[in-house]
Structure 1
């Protein structure tokens, strides 16, 4: 019998709510890269097809699930899924305790209603347009941890690591 894994969204979000201007992460933030790697190491990941292809070669000890509408898509590693519910079932059947959504925008939007927690890096920079991250409604989400970092020689922009917990179970579990 499988149990539903915890569903976590991890993202880097600009001060004005965007994750990208179209492709890739628009900042070079070594502290955040290490933070991302330490959290996702060894986990099952859910990624949209474009994000998966941008990260191809990066998956060493991960089990990637690629969210795509293309029924014929065969990922180089990992498995294809057509929706978040399928990804949760597959990860649960595989013994995963947690499934981490790593982007892009469509994957975050599809996963947000099912999410249990968020791990966000808030960057003190504005992108002005691009791919938005879903709104974090304070009625639904409570910040549980926060760590702030000012700009420094390695980081042009200040940032904040923040963790959020859903105040009540996701609608999909009710």
Structure 2
């Protein structure tokens, strides 16, 4: 299955200047738990935003740059080629950024969202998706605390 995973603000903001605009340690733990030992699909800018490749995951990087070849990554030039590389009988995750989410949405079976209950100034946004095409099957509220400045909700959607 193709699973899209993202943390988004109330205004669908994902980030600004290729960085997240919030810090939610529990969301990082959830992301790690869900994506470890799986293929992860991302754009070049998202890949370059990491200090190093994420451990225990197979990185597929989508880029138009023909000579781009980071060590240990599979590099492709389209979302279709990225998905074709992933094993059909395993979960694979689309992890961003904004353009890759937009391109990947038609191929996605499940959306794992962390909805951050705040509005942020941003330059990258998660695509709007029709609630007519998706069913919310799980929702878990989390409240701000000493490590989390904002309330947030984990939401799981499956395609109808």
TM-score (norm 1): 0.87
How far apart in 2 are the matches of 1:57 and 1:104?
17
Q: Which residue of 2 aligns with 1:172?
A: none
Give, in whole Å, the separation in 1 of the partners of 2:83 and 2:154.
25
Partner Cα separation in structure 2 for residue 154 and residue 58 of structure 1: 25
- Determine the structure 2 residue equivalent to 1:32: 27
Show the 5 A alignment for 1:134-153.
134-153=127-146
Contact conserved, 2:14 with 2:122, CA < 8 A, in 1? no
Unmatched tracts of structure 1, length 5 or more: 1-5, 168-174
Are 1:61 and 2:77 an aligned pair?
Answer: no
Deviation, 1:76, is 2.1
> What TM-score, normalized to structure 2?
0.95
Aligned partner of 1:171 in structure 2 is none
* Structure 1 counterpart SS, 2:4: strand
Separation in structure 2 between the aligned mates of residue 83 and residue 163 of structure 1, nearest angstrom: 26
Q: Given the alignment of the two structures, is residue 50 of structure 1 paired with residue 45 of structure 2, yes or no?
A: yes
1:13 alignment counterpart = 8
Alignment gaps of 5+ in structure 2: none
Contact 2:98/2:124 (8 A) holds in 1: yes
Structure 1 distance, partners of 2:83, 2:17, is 27
Aligned mates of 1:131, 1:14 — CA distance in 2 = 11
Alignment of 1:97-108 (within 5 A): 97-108=90-101
**RMSD of the TM alignment (CA)?**
1.3
Moved over 6 A (4+): none
The alignment status of 1:113 with 2:103, answered yes or no, reads no
| Cα distance in structure 1, aligned partners of 2:66 and 2:89 | 24
